[in-house]
Amino acid sequence: MKAPPVNQQLNAFDKAMKLFHKREFQGALPAFDEAGKGSDLSIAHAARLHANMCRQRLERESPQLKTSEDNYAFGLALANRRELTGAEKYLLRALQLAPRADHVLYSLALVKGLQGDMQAAAGYLAQAIEIQPSNRSTARTDPDFHELLRQQPIREIVF
């Protein structure tokens, strides 16, 4: 297999470093792995070192969560730190374990909205409101939803 060109290797490394500094190790890992296969040996070495750091941190950060509430609480903590990719992962696990948990759907709506996926956010919020109508008024007054309420699909559901 031929090594990727140096500019592609450098782009992968830059992308990975941005994610690494945001503490999004799951997203950074594949980019570091790609940069580690490039022809520039110094970039490849740095990429492999950082990939190993990502793996170590992911191992430390991967708690053993069994219940929907465990996954929800961990996902919410990640969302509060704006680690949205990880938050989504744990909230989706919580939803698999408790498909009608309106608080999980509400939190997923917020995470998807913060990620910029307004259609998915609107879908989750609509489900949360269908299960628990008081989620509509909660979203109106929730400071975390303030900016999202300006977006058309969310606005239609809440107002």
Task: Encode pLDDT of 98-121 as tens digits.
Answer: 999 999 999 999 999 999 999 999
Identify the CA nearest to 72 among candidates 107, 42, 45, 37.
107
Tokens 């509509």 correspond to what residue? 136
Candidates 3.20.10.10, 3.40.50.1820, 1.20.58.2030, 3.40.30.10; CATH matching 6-61: 1.20.58.2030
Query: Which regions of the chain does DSSP assign to beta strands (E)?
Result: none
Task: Encode pLDDT of 31-83 as tens digits.
Answer: 999 999 989 999 999 999 999 999 888 877 666 788 999 999 999 999 998 99
Average pLDDT across the chain, whole number: 93
The domains of the chain are located at 6-61, 68-158
**Cβ–Cβ < 8 Å for 8, 40:** no
Task: Encode pLDDT of 91-100 as tens digits.
Answer: 999 999 999 9
Is domain 68-158 given the CATH code 3.90.1150.10 in the classification? no
Which of 141-159 are b and which e, b meaning 16 or more Cβ less than 10 Å from the residue's Cβ?
eeeebeebeeeebbeebbe
